[in-house]
Structure 1
Amino acid sequence: MAASRTKKPEDPEIDPTQLLAYRVLTLSQLLNRGIEVILESDLGLSVRQWRVVLCIATRGPQSVQDIADFCRYDKSQVSRAVAELLEKKLVATGVSPTDGRRVLVRLTAAGREKFKRGMPLSLARQERLASCLSRNQLQTFDKALQTLIQQAEVMLQEAHDQRG
């Protein structure tokens, strides 16, 4: 008799789609894929490039590390995005006026124009996403999201501390 080719789940009691982290990541991936299409077609930018532009436009000239911290990216991911934005002439780099060892990334006029074109798209998308929730649901979700982000930051720090 041939062995059954149907694999049995290791633990049928666990449904990964019910795990909070899985569901949050699913939402994030869906949102990223959707905005990716819009950014590529309308602005010629990747999601990562847009987030770098958004960070600089709203926070002023920043170091690569500052951008990475704000966007929650690895420094290498931001370095790549900045290099791509430099090629597109959307950002420029220069020495910090207060610390000659620090290099800051700033938007060029073309970068500011991309930001001005992109923000209405981003805001319209946010409005459409939030439209399926009532005002109370949105407020509750926002509070819960902030709490989860804070907890995830604590857990990340603990993981780093354990690794030494």
Structure 2
Amino acid sequence: MGPSQPAGRGRGLPGPRARRRLRGRGARVKRLRAATGDAFDAGRQMLAPLLSAAGPRITAAAFANDHLACGTLMQAASQGVAVPGRIALLGFGDFPIGRQLQPSLSTLRPPTAEIGQVAAQAVLESVGEGLDPASRALPCQLIARDSTGGAAAADSAAPH
């Protein structure tokens, strides 16, 4: 995918530790903020700053959620911007709309059941034992689809 340039809303993706790891691997990371309001509209508005940002050309963007990424993907399609040819896009959440668009959206799938279990356990410990909930990182699954070239790469590696 080349150097990654994440765009997100709020804290966004990736977090400070991930940005340090990416920089340590030679990636140039720039954090952009999306407008508040409708996430699809905010994502549509992100395409222009991604394509015109000062400095090295942005070749990839990771978003805080799939709706922002889908908005950017739809705007790219309406302007004839090649995804992933000109810019690769990655969402977060694995929402169904990402599978419906062309190209389909690569995403990170969070472990939703485990998030619920960990949250319930934290509430019980907090209420029952008076403990402060501990922060816990949970692994996400990369779902590589067309917006990062992942589906094409996976298809070409599969036996025919």
Q: TM-score, with normalisation over the residues of structure 2?
A: 0.26
Higher strand share: 2
Q: TM-score, with normalisation over the residues of structure 1?
A: 0.25
Higher helix share: 1
